[in-house]
Amino acid sequence: MSEDNKTEAPQEAPQEKAEAKPSRKRMGRKGPITLGVVAAVVVVAAIGLFVWHEQPSFCSAICHTPMDPYLPTYEAEPGQPAVDKWGNAIPDASAMMAATHRVEDADCMDCHVPTLGEQVSEGISWVSGNYEVYDTASYKGVMMERNLADLTEARGIANEEFCLRSGCHDMTREELEASTADLAFNPHSTKHGTPDCGTCHKAHRQSVMYCTKCHDGAAANMPEGWLTFQEAEALEAA
């Protein structure tokens, strides 16, 4: 066979080099780091949510649409004019415990501690739009006022202990009575029984001088911005 008739055998095309895959060793190093970053993000987010959960902005934005009127009462400046939860103008925000407690760094959860059952019930009410409101037009859209019995249910304490406890007003009933003994009418005297603190002290509306149910308001040394018993009765009936 001549040289001209010789054919070269076809050469095989060079195989493309396989892409390098990360080794198990390299992947093993990245796995814990990734998990650690994810865990850190989750922890930070959980802490942030927990802190926000205790702020009025959370209650107003997430849970309780009818609680919107309560936020201004919390943010009001003591000594300045404000509005109560019903939108009524009041001369001094100091008459609302929500405002005075805010400046002492108190938040919603210092007073409002719902039970698990209450939280579930409130969640269902929020989703369904079935809020508990007053029937009268002036109170429409505002959740019903909670008394001390409602606020102490989750804590499992007596009504009197709600305010007179460590972290709040850490004193006995006798010490409380003695602290205002120099007033013309001692509002904390037990001579006429022991009414709850909430009988006079209101959180989201003007506080009431209960002594004026019987005594003249001018002689009762009423705090600035407070209502007489008769004024409070008329306001609630309006």
pLDDT at 139: 46
pTM: 0.67
Instruction: Give the length of the chain.
Output: 238
Query: How far is residue 174's CA from residue 180's CA, in Å, rounded to a whole number?
Result: 11
Let me know: does 82 contact 73? Beta carbons within 8 Å: yes
Reference 59, options 72, 68, 48, 46; nearest CA is 68
Q: Does pLDDT of 50 surpass 60?
A: no
**Which one is predicted more confidently, 67 or 95?**
95
Dihedral, CA of residue 190, residue 191, residue 192 and residue 198, to nearest 10: -20
Render pLDDT for 195-223 as a digit per residue (tens, 0 to 9).
Answer: 889 999 999 999 999 889 888 877 777 88
* Alpha helices (runs of H) in 81-228, residue ranges in sequence order: 97-102, 116-128, 148-152, 173-179
pLDDT at 140: 46
Looking at residue 232, its amino acid is A
Mean pLDDT of 132-144: 50
Sign of CA dihedral 84, 98, 117, 164: negative
**Which one is predicted more confidently, 33 or 136?**
33
Task: Classify the phi-psi angles of 201: left when phi > 0, otherwise alpha if psi is within -120 to 50, otherwise beta.
Answer: beta
Reference 63, options 112, 134, 5, 19; nearest CA is 112
Count CB-CB contacts under 10 A for residue 174: 10
pLDDT at 53: 57
pLDDT band of 46, cuts 50, 70, 90: low
Q: Does pLDDT of 120 surpass 50?
A: yes
Looking at residue 224, its amino acid is E
pLDDT band of 129, cuts 50, 70, 90: low
Mean pLDDT of 172-192: 89
Mean pLDDT of 48-64: 58
